[in-house]
Amino acid sequence: MTPAVAPTALPAGLQPGAPFTALAPMQDVTDLAFMRVVAHYGAPDFFFTEFFRVHTQSRPEKHILRSIDENRTGRPIFAQLIGEDLGHLARTVQALLRHPIAGIDLNLGCPAPKVYKKNVGGGLLREPAKVGAILAMLRAEVPGLLTVKMRIGFADAGNFDRLLDLINEHRVDLLSVHGRTVKEMYRSEVHYDLIAHAVSRVACPVLANGNVTSAARAGAILTTTAAAGVMIGRHAIRNPWIFRQCREQFSGATPARVTLADVRDYVERLYRATQAPGLLERLQVNKMKKYLNFVGQSVDASGAFLHDMRRTESELELFRVCDRHLLAEPAREFPPEPYPGVIARPNCETPHALTDGCSLETITA
């Protein structure tokens, strides 16, 4: 393991001078295997880990550390923390600095009630004073890059300006803004006007996050917000070519067309990459359904692929369904935008599950 050399400036993007792209941190998604698959189709400029939970008993989770230590994508990775205790956050930072991270990212956005009720993640947005204390400590502990990922507020954007001023006061190096409140979860309209407001108020570069569905939308959102780049989550699960397409869009080229045959290749690659040794086939198939819930939003307008895919129980059945829907017309375009009204709804979604945390089990488009 190479010890981290603390960088002092943001690493250059893959296309110098162009807006940045980043893969949004997603618990249970952005692990080593998923990042490798995304990098195969065109890496983003920056990766972020799933959040490391910080509390009295916590030690940095081994599987998340793997995504840092075994990162061969060639792109820098920021380690995200969620927590509120200054001492334990400082201890975790020191542990993470022994790994090859690009910097430390603070989660100020997770909207899961189980998380925000502990006053961490999005819950902290209610307490700017506490956020100030955490940022002061992190700034003192982190010799290199300190980044923050935040929503625009808890129930409303009343604290937004105070929080943005803290970003300046503590010399945060990069701010990602998901343009929704915690209460708005994942489905409301995104307040791009407030992302634009953040861009005008903070000194550091801002990444615009929330419903960046395609390269064309990324271009439009950058025009609206004047952000330094985009951070993309769910739509990179649906379309892992999106970062390459963004670079093409930003350089004035037409983004490369993706076909259904390309998507069949993606499904196969994802299946093999995410297959943990010894995992029961049925469980691997269920795991795939969570990703395919997003992929299916661009396969057909009727949702027929999603319907059939959700009913499979074995690898053979799953790939038969993929072949039927993706290889019948292999040259047909996989459209860059999702079909309207085709919803990614994991079959396990229940109101109870919504209290569990930020995970694919609980979050739908």
Ligand X SMILES: Cc1cc2nc3c(=O)[nH]c(=O)nc-3n(C[C@H](O)[C@H](O)[C@H](O)COP(=O)(O)O)c2cc1C
Active-site positions read 110
Question: Least distance from C-beta 122 to ligand X, angstroms?
Answer: 9
Rounded to whole angstroms, what are the CA distances from 251 to 218, 248, 255, 257?
13, 5, 10, 16
Among 53, 75, 234, 264, binds ligand X (CB under 6 A): 234
Instruction: Give the residue with the Cβ less far from ligand X, 122 or 255.
Output: 122
Which span (133-141, 199-207, 231-239, 311-319) binds ligand X, by CB under 6 A?
231-239
DSSP 8-class letter at 335: -
Q: How far apart are CA 36 and CA 180, in angstroms?
A: 29
* Nearest approach, Cβ of residue 167 and ligand X (Å): 15
The SS3 assignment for 81 reads: strand
Per CB under 6 A, does 312 bind ligand X?
no
For residues 102 and 117, give the distance between their C-alpha atoms in angstroms, rounded to a whole number. Answer: 30
Is residue 123 at the binding interface for ligand X, with CB under 6 A as the rule? no
Question: Strand 103-108 vs strand 206-209: parallel, antiparallel, or unpaired?
Answer: unpaired
Alpha-helical regions (H) of the chain: 32-42, 62-69, 86-96, 113-116, 128-141, 160-169, 192-201, 215-225, 234-238, 242-250, 260-273, 281-295, 304-310, 315-326
Q: Indicate whether 178 belongs to the interface with ligand X (CB under 6 A).
A: yes
* Residue selected from 36, 53, 75, 149 as contacting ligand X according to rule CB under 6 A: 149
Contact 107, 52 (CB under 8 A): no
Q: How far is the CB of 179 from ligand X (least distance, A)?
A: 9
Print the binding letters for residues 97-116 with ligand X: x by CB under 6 A, - otherwise: ----------x-xx------
How far is it, in rounded angstroms, from Cα 245 to Cα 333?
14
By beta-carbon proximity to ligand X, the closer residue of 32 and 326 is: 32
Instruction: Compute the distance between CA of residue 115 and CA of residue 139 in angstroms, rounded to an integer.
Output: 24
358 binds ligand X (CB under 6 A): yes
Instruction: Determine if 270 is a binding residue for ligand X (CB under 6 A).
Output: no
SS3 95: helix
Q: Does 167 contact ligand X by CB under 6 A?
A: no
Provide the residue count of the chain: 365
Of the residues 67, 80, 274, 297, which one makes contact with ligand X according to CB under 6 A: 80
Which stretch in 3-11, 26-34, 66-74, 252-260 sits in contact with ligand X by CB under 6 A? 26-34
Query: Judged by CB under 6 A, does residue 235 bind ligand X?
Result: yes
Nearest to 195 by CA among 158, 161, 225, 156: 225
CB-wise, 131 or 212, nearer to ligand X? 212
Report how far apart the first and last C-alpha atoms of the chain are (Å, whole number). 37
- Considering the complex, state which of residue 29 and residue 326 has its C-beta at the smaller distance from ligand X: 29
The region of 88-96, 207-215, 246-254, 313-321 touching ligand X under the rule CB under 6 A is 207-215
Structure tokens at 160: 């937004």
* Contact mark string toward ligand X, 29..48, x via CB under 6 A: x-------------------
Residues that bind ligand X (CB under 6 A): 24-27, 29, 50-51, 80, 107, 109-110, 149, 178, 209-212, 232-235, 358-360, 363
